[in-house]
């Protein structure tokens, strides 16, 4: 989940609403439905992220009536609070001394694209 947030520049609400049908492996894109401003958009799906999502799928086999990709331990839709808790736990375990939130991953996505020469308009469209 955290790799997908970072790798695609997603908001926490977008990751919790992500469905299995929103992953387009053939075109290497992720469809974000009803993001901020109630607009749909596509964002990037890297090969690394696709590999991680594939492994996740085979290990956890998420099954939900609405086909949500990420579920809580009770097999219900993941909440934004639970996603934040997962990030905080992972961040604590990393030993990094700086301050960060789950939204920091989205900022890192944009920063790394900019550092690699991606056009600002293209980054804006992805976010």
Angle 51-27-4 (CA atoms, 0-180°, nearest 5)?
A: 40
Contact in structure between 77 and 16 (CB atoms under 8 Å): yes
H or E segment at 7? Answer: helix 2-8
Domain with residue 118: its CATH number is 1.10.443.10
Of the listed ranges 59-68, 97-106, 110-119, the least confidently predicted one is 59-68
For residue 37, pLDDT over 90 is answered with no
pTM of the model: 0.87
For residue 64, pLDDT over 90 is answered with no
Per the structure, the count of domains in the chain is 1
Across the range 46-56, mean pLDDT stands at: 94
Domain of residue 55: give its range: 2-126
- The confidence band for 61, taking pLDDT boundaries of 50, 70 and 90, is confident
Question: Minimal CA–CA distance to 78: which of 60, 64, 89?
Answer: 64
Question: According to the model, what pLDDT value does residue 75 have?
Answer: 85
């Amino acid at each position: 989940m955290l790799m997908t947030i970072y790798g695609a520049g997603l908001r926490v609400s977008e990751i919790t609403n992500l469905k299995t049908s929103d992953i387009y492996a053939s075109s290497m894109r992720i469809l974000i439905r009803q993001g901020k401003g109630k607009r749909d958009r596509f964002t990037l799906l890297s090969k690394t992220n696709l590999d991680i999502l594939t492994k996740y799928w085979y290990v956890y086999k998420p099954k939900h009536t609405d086909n949500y990709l990420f579920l809580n331990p009770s097999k219900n839709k993941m909440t934004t609070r639970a996603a934040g808790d997962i990030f905080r736990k992972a961040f604590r375990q990393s030993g990094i001394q700086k301050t960060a939130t789950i939204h920091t991953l989205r900022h890192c996505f944009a920063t790394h694209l900019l550092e690699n020469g991606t056009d600002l308009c293209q980054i804006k469209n992805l976010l």
